[in-house]
Amino acid sequence: MDPKLTEVSQLFERFKAALVRNDYDTCTKLLSQLKVLLTEFKSLPPLFEETPNAIHELTIARDIYEHAVVLSVKIEDQDAFERDFFQLKPYYTDAGGHLPQSPQEYPILGLNLLRLLVQNRIAEFHTELELLSATALENPCIKHAVELEQSFMEGAYNRVLSARQTVPHETYVYFMDLLAKTVRDEIAGCSEKAYDSLSIKDARQMLLYSSDQELSEYIKEEHPEWETKNGFVIFQRAKESAPCKEIPSLQLINQTLSYARELERIV
């Protein structure tokens, strides 16, 4: 076997062992070494040269990046996740024809969808979704993310929260927790508009806090304009668009003048 390939696979074994031990410092160190080594293989994207070991090299590189994505979730680094995911993506899209499908493919794609949802990058979420085939959409990992997005758009927030119990993969928990925070902000924004006031008990339940203490801290930090009085949270309603009392004369004059100018040009 190619000595370089042997070196990479040995290093990768050590990386995997460290990942199992949850020794993240060693993992990150080994990962950067691995990535440097991978640059020497010519069969990998973007070159895709036909070398004798191409299949083997592609498989191991894909495996490494898959683990890198999982690692980034474990160390809760979203930027690293994005970087690693983009490095991994060509292995699914462009090299897909040469390799047997990875069992990790759908969980990781679903994870990425979830990340986009958490970061509220809905346009990218849908762009990614278009790339998936009908069979991929049936996969529980992907379906989970797609259904979450739907509930989120509809406003059925308790469905989003209850989805945490049914995560298809352990790595999803991190993003689901982040999503819970986003959901709380959404609920707060909606309640503000929909209710005149709420009892503190109801508000606490709705915003998913276990104690009144936490609730009042949240209000102080995020929504200082809310008032708490007599066991009620009173929302300051935004000023209604009152019927117009005055004629916006200046604007009207400007508009009429511009019509006159244009008409003159036509005639």
Partner 1 sequence: MTQDVEMKELPAPSNTVSTVGPSTLQHLKEIASLIETGAYAREVRRIARAVRLTIALRRKLKASVLSAFLNFALVPGSEVHSRLSSYLPKEDEHDMEVDAATSATQAPAKHSLPEFEIYCYLLVLIFLIDQKRYNEAKACSSASIARLKNLNRRTVDVLASRLYFYYSLSYELTGDLADIRGNLLALHRIATLRHDELGQETLLNLLLRNYLHYNLYDQAEKLRSKAPRFEAHSNQQFCRYLFYLGKIRTIQLEYTDAKESLLQAARKAPAAALGFRVQCNKWAVIVRLLLGEIPERTVFMQKGMEKALRPYFELTNAVRIGDLKLFKTVAEKFSNTFSSDRTHNLIVRLRHNVIRTGLRNISISYSRISLVDVAKKLRLDSANPVADAESIVSKAIRDGAIDATVDHANGWMVSKETGDIYSTNEPQIAFNSRIAFCLNMHNEAVRALRFPPNSHKEKESAEKRRERQQQEQELAKHIAEEDDDEF
C-alpha to C-alpha distance for 77 and 174, rounded to whole angstroms: 11
DSSP for 209-267, written as a single string: -SSHHHHHHHHHHH-TT-EEETTEEEPPPPPP-PPP-S--HHHHHHHHHHHHHHHHHH-
End-to-end alpha-carbon separation of the chain, Å?
A: 84
- 227-256 residues in contact with partner 1 (CB under 8 A) are 241, 243-244, 248, 252, 255
Is residue 204 within 8 Å of 212, Cβ to Cβ? yes
Q: Which residue of 10, 32, 120, 127 would you call a contact of partner 1, by CB under 8 A? A: 127
Of the residues 17, 29, 40, 156, which one makes contact with partner 1 according to CB under 8 A: 156
To the nearest whole angstrom, how small is the minimum distance from the Cβ of residue 153 to partner 1? 5
Q: How far is the CB of 197 from partner 1 (least distance, A)?
A: 9
Quote the least distance from Cβ 137 to partner 1, whole Å: 8
Binning the chain into helix, strand and coil, the percentages to the nearest 5 are 70, 5, 30
**Residue 189, interface with partner 1 (CB under 8 A)?**
yes
Binding mask 128-147 for partner 1 (x = CB under 8 A): -xxx--x-----------x-
Instruction: Give yes or no for residue 154 binding partner 1 (CB under 8 A).
Output: yes
Q: Which residues contact 103 (CB under 8 A, 6 or more apart)?
A: none
Least distance in angstroms from the C-beta of 37 to partner 1:
28
- Residue 218: what are its φ and ψ, rounded to 5°? -60, -45
The answer to whether residue 190 forms part of the interface with partner 1 (CB under 8 A) is yes
By CB under 8 A, name the binding residues for partner 1. Answer: 122-124, 126-127, 129-131, 134, 146, 150, 153-159, 162, 186-187, 189-196, 198-199, 202, 241, 243-244, 248, 252, 255, 259, 262, 266
